[in-house]
């Protein structure tokens, strides 16, 4: 399938979980489509780039190997994403990468440079004008990466405390959990 054909197929993807899962299965059957999916996300055109991001998130939830095999293009894409409906799945994928990287039985797969790129994106999502979901994913991502990169935890705590009063109820709830974890 060419990028143009994939782009056309994404036009028929809806937000319904079943629909996104069906397209994710097609991507898994043809892993060579993952870089094309990432390219479409980078184009940052609504609604197709958002649909590509939804599908990539579903692929990542099933098997992070598809992201690891395409980690450089994925990470390069992060700074180009501006659409809120693309940022949320990108932030979720970054959280999944961090959860995997810092789980007890995982071998380290991400370089310091790759962790720095994820850190920069997560801080951007946390301090930017975004909805709660990417902010919450960013909090978890930064909490985990901060285990290895020591300057992150103090900065994360400072930002959460500064923004706490103006945050939504959901933001405050997640910030309390994160601040409590930082105190340990």
pLDDT tens by residue, 81-120: 999 999 999 999 999 999 999 998 888 899 999 999 999 9
What six digits make up the tokens of 72? 């450089």
CB half-sphere exposure, 111, CA atoms < 13 A: 6
Tell how far CA 71 is from the center of its chain.
12
Range of the domain at 32: 1-82
Are residues 72 and 107 both part of a single domain?
A: no
Intervals of the chain under pLDDT 50: none
Q: Are residues 73 and 131 in the same domain?
A: no
Residue 90 is predicted with a pLDDT of 98
pLDDT at 16: 82
CA Rg value for the chain: 16
Q: What span, in angstroms and rounded, lies between the C-alpha atoms of 5 and 91?
A: 26
Q: In angstroms, rounded to a whole number, what is the distance separating the alpha carbons of residues 118 and 145? A: 9
Same domain, residue pair 77 and 111: no
Query: Which pLDDT score is estimated for 81?
Result: 95
Provide the number of structural domains found in the chain.
2
């Amino acid at each position: 399938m060419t990028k143009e054909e994939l782009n056309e197929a994404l036009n028929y993807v809806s937000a319904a979980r079943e629909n996104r899962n069906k397209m994710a299965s097609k991507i898994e059957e043809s892993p060579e489509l993952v870089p094309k999916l990432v390219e479409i996300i980078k184009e940052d055109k609504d609604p197709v780039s958002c649909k590509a991001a939804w599908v990539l998130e579903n692929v990542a939830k099933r098997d992070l190997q598809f992201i690891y095999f395409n980690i450089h293009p994925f990470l390069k894409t992060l700074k180009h994403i501006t659409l809120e409906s693309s940022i949320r799945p990108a932030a979720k994928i970054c959280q999944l990468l961090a959860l995997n990287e810092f789980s007890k039985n995982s071998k380290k797969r991400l370089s310091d440079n790759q962790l720095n790129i994820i850190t920069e994106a997560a801080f951007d999502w946390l301090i930017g004008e975004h909805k709660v979901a990417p902010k919450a994913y960013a909090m978890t991502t930064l909490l985990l990466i901060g285990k290895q990169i020591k300057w992150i935890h103090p900065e994360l705590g400072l930002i959460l405390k500064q923004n706490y009063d103006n945050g939504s109820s959901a933001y405050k709830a997640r910030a309390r959990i994160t601040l409590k974890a930082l105190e340990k």
